[in-house]
Amino acid sequence: MLKRISGLSIFCVISSALAFNASAQAVETQALTPFTAKYKVSKGRLNLGSAKRQLSQIGENRFTFSYFSDLSLLILSDHRRETSELVVNQQQVKPLRYLFKREGTGSDKSTTLDFSNGQVLDVETDKKIEVASDIQWYDEVSYQLQLKLDLAAGKQEMFYYLVNHKKKDKLYHFKVVGEEVIEVPAGKIETVKLQRIRDDSSDRVTEFWLAPKLGYLLVRIRQERDGSEVADAQLEQYVFNPL
C-alpha cells in the first residue's frame, strides 16, 4: 500500500488548505494567471488527504509552479513538495531549477535539478545527467504548465520529455479524448478530458479533466491500476490572482 501512496507523485498538478471562495471568481483567467487551488484526494470511500497546486509570478516572464501534498492511509504517510522555477517566452516554458522533497513512512528523499546552460545538473552531486542536448527537457512540474499553454493553443495531442525526481528521463504522451461537464466539491465545471497514453502492456489508466474557462486549471485527476481505483483528486477550492 505504501507503494500506491508514493505513486501519487502524479498529483504534482494539485493544491492546499486555504479558504477560497470558488463562486466569487470574476476575473478572466488565462493559462498563466497565478492561482492557488486545493484538492481532496481519495481512494473509493477512503479519504487519503489533501493536495495544493500554486502558480506565482516572481518577475517578468518568470514564475514558480509548486505542488504540495499531505497524504496518509492507516499508519502510512507521504508528504511532498515540488517546486519549479521557470521562465515563459512566446508560450514556451523553460525550467530553471526544480526542487523535490518527500517525507513520511520510509526513507526521506530530496532532489534538486538545475536546467540552465542547456544541460540538466544534479545539484546535490554536482554531476550532469546524461540526456540528449537537442531536446527541450522539463521537470515533473514545469511540463504541466506547458500542457496548459498547449491546450490553450488548441493542441489535441502532446509529448513532453522530462527528468523526474529519481533523475530518470521519461516521455509523457497525452491526448484529448473529449469534453465533459463534471461535478466536484468546487461545483459543476466544464472541462476537457485528457488521457495519458502508455504502451499497450501498461495496466494503468490516468485521466485528467481541465477547465478551459479557468485557464485550463486542473479540476480532477484519476488513476486506475488493474481496473481498480488507486487515487482520485478533485478540486475543492481555488482563487486567481490577476497578472
Using the predicted structure, report yes or no on whether residue 46 has a pLDDT greater than 80: yes
* b/e 58-89 (16+ beta carbons within 10 angstroms → b): eeeeebbbbbbbbbebeebbbbbbbbbbbebe
- Burial readout 204-240 (b: 16 or more C-beta within 10 A, e: otherwise): ebbebbbbbebbbbbbbbbbeeeeeebbbbbbbbbbb
Residues of the chain with pLDDT > 90, as a percent, come to 76
| Grid cell locating 9 | 507523485
Higher pLDDT, 25 or 43: 43
Look up the pTM and report it. Answer: 0.86
Higher pLDDT, 164 or 18: 164
Q: What is the mean pLDDT of residues 87-100?
A: 97
Rounded to whole angstroms, how far apart are CA atoms 137 and 229?
30
**Where residue 16 falls among pLDDT bands split at 50, 70, 90?**
very low
Summarised one tens digit per residue, pLDDT across range 54-93 is 999 999 999 999 999 999 988 889 999 999 999 999 999 9
Question: DSSP 3-state assignment of 198?
Answer: coil
Mean pLDDT for the stretch of residues 35-47: 94
pLDDT digit string, tens, across residues 184-240: 999 999 999 999 999 877 788 999 999 999 999 999 999 998 888 889 999 999 999
Strand runs (DSSP E) across 6-105, as ranges? 35-43, 46-59, 62-73, 76-89, 92-104
| CA separation for the pair 53, 217 (Å, rounded) | 10
Q: What is the rounded CA–CA span in Å between residue 116 and residue 86?
A: 10
Q: What is the mean pLDDT of residues 88-105?
A: 96
